[in-house]
Amino acid sequence: MAARTSLVVVESPTKVKTIQKYLDRGFVVKASLGHLKDLPKSKLGIDVKKGFAPQYVPVRTKAKTLEELKKAGKKAKALYVATDPDREGEAIGWHIAQELKIPPEKVYRVLFNEITEKAVKAAFKEPGRIDQKRVDAQQARRVLDRLVGYKISPLLWEKIRRGLSAGRVQSVAVRLICEREQEIRAFVPQEYWSLQAYLTGAVPPEFVATLREKDGAKLVPSNETETRAIMAELERLPFVVKAVERGERRKNPSPPFITSTLQQDAARKLRFSASKTMMIAQQLYEGVEIDNGGPVGLITYMRTDSPRVAAEAQAAARDVIAARYGAETLPERPPFYRARKSAQEAHEAIRPSLLDQPPERLARHLSRDQLGLYRLIWERFLASQMRPALYDTLTVDVSAGPYLFRAVGSALRSPGFMAVYIEAPDESVGAAEEEGEMSGLPPLETGQRLGLVRLDPKQHFTQPPPRYTEASLVKELEEKGIGRPSTYAQILSTIQKREYVQRDRGSLSPTDLGETVNNLLVKAFPHIFEVAFTAQMEESLDEIEEGDRKWVEAVREFYKPFEGDLKEAGLTMEDFKAGKPTDETCPKCGEGKLLEKWGRYGRFLACERYPDCKYTRNPGDAAQAEPEQAGVTCDKCGKPMVYKQSRFGRFIGCSGYPECKNIKKITLGIPCPQGCGGELVENRSKRGRAYFGCSNFPECRFVVWQRPVPVPCPKCGMPFLTQRGGRGKRWVACSRENCDYRRDAEIA
């Protein structure tokens, strides 16, 4: 009779292979593929009157997986829950134990921060139990999110249009983006001037000093008149070296990555979205095939808010650093990095799990994106364990009567950690004061008279705050205590998927729909979607996990004011479906007022006398009684075709709509190079990116992504060139493969 084995359950199928090879034949490893039970999709699934009891049901798509686990559980002598080391993983394990009906004394919890042989075996040697406090924290979050989503979303369906939804944390992220956009719109640029003096000493070279003070007070000229007056005065004054100060500046390494900083640096250095960063990090954590030895976990767990590093890992890092960069790059003792107050100190920072696997050794085993992210993690971790970079600094103050100019220079004396890694600049922080190289300053002494070569005035204007990028929004969410490491990527993905936020060249801005929904929610639920309140709820969840608070108590405290706001919102929230009245009279019938409404493709204006009057237009379009004629007739009904506008761009439609729904693309007047008789038209991809294809689609599938210009290629005869550009330059080039024609151009 075969000996009974213990069942080990992980979340991902990728982990099965990795972990199975580290365990003996007494264990069989299977995957749950995430949650097996959840709240039902078809109803609220929470009994509010009975202590907010959640009504969990099996996830429909996981029925086969659950059946297989139950079958394995009947033969198992014990269950080892090896799901991810966070709240979600704890809840998944809790549900599995319930479904498999294994006695509690035979259910064990194993936690490991990295999937290596040593870590896995150590976890199985000293297993624990499922942490009910952590399960309760996850339940509280799930119940809160369901209450907000399922109670508010129907209101949005009723007041704007179906398909909209609200989220307890996501809606606050949208609010931050909307408020930043309002700041940008309200911003009034202020003029100011800078003034630099080009000076010479006894020996070359000449150097530059910037005006800083007058009579000991900071001085920033506000206009050209003031600046010119200062210049006229300075041209009659002697320039004298007032002080020469030499010093040292230390630049400390950044801590090893946590989830938020990994997402930020991957966005800045690799141009990864937050969701892409987490997807690739998950692959590196779960295991990658190396040298036919089976999958190997390459990094520690990637959902963490703690920069803590195990002493063993620090010791291994010091050995690698000494061997690769020299012992002189090591600090006397391993550094300690302080975590935020709310951080889960049980977790470690994100670091390589095997320091004997540098990026160059793994290059042939990893995809380009995997290698890029692994190198980022590897270099950041090593740098975090190294000495600071040291700069020699030189500050020269130059007086000219009551005015003070300053020249600042620096020279890198010892690169320290910068020999390995330099953190990408934060795009939300303004440029630092300009600093030159010390080698660009001549020998100078206090009291030395200087020669004035010229004065260089420059006009400037204050700039509005920048739009958020994914990187800076994650940073803002973390700093304000909104969400947790496991939620950042999901928040960013959700708000874009719902079309509340759009991303253009990396910047996030609210859509018209996003601003409308945000305005309604903030007005109707001033507390629930307030940043500080959301952060306070996150703290409550942490208190539940620590055992300092009961989860039902936290949910009840939230629900009482929420219920009142919900009833009030149902009565007072603006109704865009019925239409919001405007002061404009319909230009077509001259009788009805125009109403502001929301449809499938966004906001529009419509006559209140519909269906007797069917006038509609986009809010931003000029009022006109009749749409612009396209100069062609409909090939289906013979009526005139007119120009129309949708969120996908301008097109030609039949004036007989809705009886005739014939539409045509506006062609560019450029023949399709496939010789099919069609012309090129502009289209939009699902992500909103413009591309150009043949009007005979789907019969002809010619596509080009760059905008065509109706100029034939002089080299190969292609009927058009395409616009290109980058880094401030513009040019046209041939799109035909194997043709390298290109020339600089200014395209209108």
CA distance 375 to 211: 43
CA distance 87 to 538: 13
pTM: 0.79
**191-252+389-461 and 271-382 in the same fold:** no
CATH number of 6-130: 3.40.50.140
* Domain-wise residue ranges, the chain: 6-130, 143-186+468-572, 191-252+389-461, 271-382, 580-665, 667-744
CA distance 739 to 497: 39
Please give the pLDDT value at position 726: 59
Joined together, the tokens standing for residue 358 give 């540098």
Closest CA to 728 of 706, 744, 705: 744
CATH number of 143-186+468-572: 1.10.460.10
- DSSP alpha helices (H): ranges in 307-367? 311-325, 359-362
Please give the pLDDT value at position 338: 86
Closest CA to 171 of 399, 494, 440, 403: 494
CA distance 517 to 511: 10
Looking at domain 191-252+389-461, its CATH architecture is Distorted Sandwich (2.70)
Residue bearing tokens 């019925």: 578
- Contact at 8 Å (CB) between 274 and 470? yes
Please give the pLDDT value at position 427: 60
3-28 burial, b if ≥16 CB within 10 A, otherwise e? eebbbbbbbbebbbebbbebbeeebb
Which DSSP state fits 352? B
Residue 742 burial (C-beta neighbours within 10 Å; 0-12, 13-18, 19+): middle
CA distance 230 to 624: 55
- The residues that are catalytic are 301
SS3 category, 182: helix
Please give the pLDDT value at position 432: 44
- Contact at 8 Å (CB) between 36 and 62? yes
Closest CA to 124 of 114, 113, 109: 109
Q: Which fold has domain 271-382?
A: Topoisomerase I; domain 4 (1.10.290)
Using 50 as the pLDDT threshold, list the residues of the chain that sit under it. Answer: 1, 430-433, 746-748
Closest CA to 165 of 498, 540, 442: 498
Please give the pLDDT value at position 675: 84
Cα 143 from chain centre: 26
| HSE value, Cβ hemisphere, 13 Å, CA-based, for 38 | 17
